[in-house]
Amino acid sequence: MSAIAQNLSVVCERIKQDAHAAGRRVDDVMLLAVSKTFGVPDIIEAIHAGQRAFGENYLQEALDKMPLVQAQVPTIPLAWHFIGPIQSNKTRQIAGHFDWVHSVDREKIGRRLSEQRPEGLPELNICLQVNVSGEASKSGVPLEEVLPLARVLASLPRLRLRGLMAVPEPTPDRARQHAAFAALRECLALLQRDGLAVDTLSMGMSADMDVAIAEGATIVRIGSAIFGNRTYP
Ligand SMILES: *Cc1c(COP(=O)(O)O)cnc(C)c1O
């Protein structure tokens, strides 16, 4: 078994145990393999180990790798999730090449993604990125601005608002990890009470996935625990 296949089976086992400990069904937690900075051969290894959903942060890197990966496994359906910061001049490429976008944090970006989503493709699944760490974090919408923005995003014709995403400020303090993820969970519940059909909490990375699953994560975004440590160019 390759190192990546071995890591994937460890991560899947952790998800199973964390879901069980939280009294949740393991099928309700999806593993998104974050392949940013890792090459096509690593992604292919993960696919051969059964992984189908991949997350990328950097548009050009993703656009370079995606066709090479798909060409090697032409019959396997893959799902590509964009999880990085979005510049408005990049929305057309994102709308044309991804199945999900987790990092929508402004109305303008949502409108462009909706307008630019190609006709032949299904609605683009999106999550609204929330800042659950206050001053400590620059990315994401403050909690109090989530509801009005979610209503607008949910109304856009070519998007399907699925839920919320957060990248809390890293902390070894477990209580603070719980608090950040619980805030996102409560925010999703608020949208549901408002009548929005949202079902997704994209939260938890290699270091804190157990806490995120305990607090209700439905997608965990895991990179280094699968592919190893990243070296940035
Ligand atoms: C890199 C990244 C991840 C994965 O982080 P790991 O610590 O490698 O698991 C998840 N989400 C986002 C938004 C990222 O940028």
Ligand 1 neighbour 83 (Cβ under 6 A): yes
Ligand 1 neighbour 36 (Cβ under 6 A): yes
pTM over 0.75: yes
Instruction: Find the 119 Cα to ligand 1 centroid distance in Å.
Output: 31
**Under 8 Å between Cβ of 146 and 154:** no
Ligand 1 neighbour 167 (Cβ under 6 A): yes
pLDDT in tens, 29-75: 999 999 999 999 999 999 999 999 999 999 999 999 999 999 999 99
Question: Which residue has better confidence, 138 or 99?
Answer: 99
**pLDDT at site 126:** 98
**pLDDT at site 83:** 98
Residues 6+ apart with CB under 8 A from 60: none
How many of the other CB atoms lie within 10 Å of CB of 129? 24
**Under 8 Å between Cβ of 165 and 157:** no
pLDDT in tens, 7-33: 999 999 999 999 999 999 999 999 999
Please state, in angstroms and rounded to a whole number, the distance separating the CA atoms of residues 119 and 117.
7
**pLDDT at site 157:** 98
Instruction: Find the 133 Cα to ligand 1 centroid distance in Å.
Output: 16
**Under 8 Å between Cβ of 60 and 68:** no
- Report whether pLDDT(136) > 90: no
- Report whether pLDDT(222) > 80: yes
**pLDDT at site 182:** 98
Ligand 1 neighbour 221 (Cβ under 6 A): yes
Please state, in angstroms and rounded to a whole number, the distance separating the CA atoms of residues 50 and 52.
6
Task: Out of 81-95, 135-149, 190-204, pick the least confident.
Answer: 135-149
Instruction: Find the 83 Cα to ligand 1 centroid distance in Å.
Output: 9
Ligand 1 neighbour 205 (Cβ under 6 A): yes
- Report whether pLDDT(232) > 90: no
Ligand 1 neighbour 57 (Cβ under 6 A): yes
Q: Which residue's CA is the nearest one to ligand 1's atom 7?
A: 206
Ligand 1 neighbour 206 (Cβ under 6 A): yes
The closest-lying atom of ligand 1 relative to the alpha carbon of residue 103 is 13
Q: How does residue 233 score in pLDDT terms, banded at 50, 70 and 90?
A: low
Q: What is the mean pLDDT of residues 87-105?
A: 98
SS3 call for 207: coil
Ligand 1 neighbour 81 (Cβ under 6 A): no
